[in-house]
Chains A and B, each alone.
Chain A
Amino acid sequence: MPDTFFTTPPDWQWWIILYFFIGGIAGGSFFIATLLYLLGRPSDRPVVRLGYYVAFIGAVVSGLLLIVDLHRPFRFWHMLVESNTGQLMFKSWTPMSVGSWGLLLFGLFAGLAALSAAREEERVRWGPAFVVTSGFRTVVAIVGGILGFFLAGYTGVLLSVTNRPVWADSPMLGALFLISAASTAAATLILLARRRSTADTVSLGKLAEFDKWTLVVELVAIVAFLITLGAAARVFLSVWGVLLVVGVIGAGIVLPLAMGLGWVKRWTDRPVMAAGLVLMGGFLLRVVTLLSSEQVHIAGSRVITP
């Protein structure tokens, strides 16, 4: 039996699952917006702006979810400042410490990007004038995009840097969460952009194309994840395995991929259906990853598995 099975679950459940899902969408939305800003056309700007708005709202919600999950929420600032010395609290070898700073900085840049986008659309009229300059936008896009990549992937690294079953048994979780963040963010932007008349069909086509290839990469990553789990994969010889194969891989990756490739033509509004399935699959991936591990614990001298 793997050594990781002789440990105690940290009770990271629904608040953390929601954070991993929403934080992933926020980070993914920003880096998709950055790529579109740097590589796309002026007509892609509505989707770029949408990406910034989603990133900012997602960052704020992520922070709140993390605070709510703490057993002493009013001590959330202990993550950033040493409570007994007043010095900055930062441990470069601790993903949760780096992640706390990463989320804070990401929220800052997502806020600046959203403000710039809102000024551009004349939704707001306040704020310094330089936020709409090209140089400022480019700097914010590049730094925020890098932070977006970080936010999308560090959550998987955080799980790996533990001693818990599944999480600490594969080095693939960071990559898998990052790729899943990209696919769920693209799906979110597709769904939201279709509701906004400003996004043109070419931009939507590019997002769908991006999501299609991301799903291919995600399929490869999830297979690699399962292979690298080794003996710890026995956790999935349970209802969690069924949910992983049917919900995450089948309905959340293979089916929307088949729709994107035109192999499934049953539904009339396939892009919406595919995006919805991708979001469901991304959420279930996090549910399965966290809760399957949470159910492994020690009772007396025996290891209890799902």
Chain B
Amino acid sequence: MAEAMGFFTDTTVCIGCKACEVACKSWNQLPAREGGQPEMSGDSYDNTVQLSGTTWRHVKFIEQFDSPYNGRWLMMSDVCKHCVQAGCIEVCPTGAIIRTEFDTVVIQSDVCNGCRACIAGCPFGVIDMNPVSGTAQKCTLCYDRMGVGLEPACSKACPTDSIQFGPIDELRRRAQTRLEQLQSQGETRAQLYGADPDGPVGGLNSFYLLVDEPEVYGLPSQPKLPSRNLASSTVGSTIGAAVMGAVGLVTLRKRRADEVAEAERGGAPRA
């Protein structure tokens, strides 16, 4: 297996230019929404609003203002996290979602049948349907470009190096250095999200430097695998089946029939 590759996104240097969104759309030939009609969210400079099957990069704009002159913008270029333990791979019933030699997660569009289990299984709300292909789609971390030694289109286009691409171990070192720099400058809210390989879902191969709580960025604080519920829910169902079997045993058996018949004839049912 080749070296694990990924993204480190330093949100503190994102300027919201959306070059990553454009580069992603352009390289991956993703269709426009609503036939290219301009759509405004109406409450933000963020008109993309969310990741989807046709938008694999999305720059979030978070406004934190007490007054028109006191506040800050948080900007974050969101993308598939390429989880080390991926919920989408877990729940995919067709084997369409695979882990590549770069330790990234890719949906094979020719295998996917559009059941949408991966959409429900993703802890980050990344995956969605592409209405053109009729399959679930998301960032491939430019698997085709990586295969020929090129870096992904989004990080290539990023003018501030907010999106950095490279081997995961190297990116973690860079992220740690940047975190210590920010903290030494008094930004005590700075934190890495998904950089810990011992953290939730085994760490993220696309991780972030944030300067507020994850929820502020629309990220779950403790992302989890869908399979966490498999044992408990199966046990619950089995107990339910046992109880129903017992109810059936009591109410449907022959002796019970005799009691019902007796009751219908006017006699009191036996205890």
Contact = CB atoms under 8 A, between A and B. Distances in A.
B113 A96 contact: no
B226 A206 contact: no
A162 B120 contact: yes
A93 B235 CA distance: 14
Contact of B264 (A95, A172, A202, A301): A202
A72 B119 contact: no
Q: How large is the interface on B (under 10, 10 to 19, 20 to 34, 35 or more residues)?
A: 35 or more
A154 B237 contact: yes
Contacts of A124: none
A32 interface: yes
Nearest to A169: B229
Given A210-B247, A301-B216, A78 B240 contact: no
A91 B93 contact: yes
A187 interface: no
A266 interface: no
A163 B113 contact: no
Contact of B92 (A94, A149, A167): A94
B95 A6 contact: no
Contacts of A249: none
B230 to A, nearest CB: 5
Contacts of B243: 179, 217
Contact of B94 (A40, A78, A178): A78
B240 A153 contact: yes
Q: Is the interface of A mostly helix, strand, loop or mixed?
A: helix
Contacts, number: 250
Contacts of A298: 50, 125, 218
Contact of B229 (A71, A160, A175): A160
* Residue of A1, A71, A75, A149 with highest tally of chain B CB at under 10 A: A71
Interface stretch (B26-34, B148-156, B177-185, B253-261): B253-261
A171 interface: yes
Contacts of B102: none
Contact of B218 (A75, A205, A302): A302
A178 B249 CA distance: 17
Nearest to A220: B243
Contacts of B76: 301
Contacts of A202: 257, 260-261, 264
B60 A210 contact: no
A97 B253 contact: no
A136 interface: no
Interface in A271-306: 297-303
A8 B236 contact: no
B254 A7 contact: no
A299 B253 CA distance: 55
Contact of A40 (B124, B220, B221, B254): B254
B252 to A, nearest CB: 5
A85 to B, nearest CB: 9
Contacts of A164: 120
B59 to A, nearest CB: 10
B229 A161 contact: yes
Interface in B202-248: 215-224, 226-227, 229-230, 232-237, 239-241, 243-245, 247-248
A7 B123 contact: yes
Contacts of B95: 78, 82, 89, 91
B91 interface: yes
A128 to B, nearest CB: 29
16 contacts: A3-B220, A6-B219, A10-B116, A10-B119, A70-B113, A71-B114, A72-B134, A78-B96, A89-B95, A95-B230, A168-B229, A175-B236, A178-B237, A205-B263, A298-B50, A300-B62
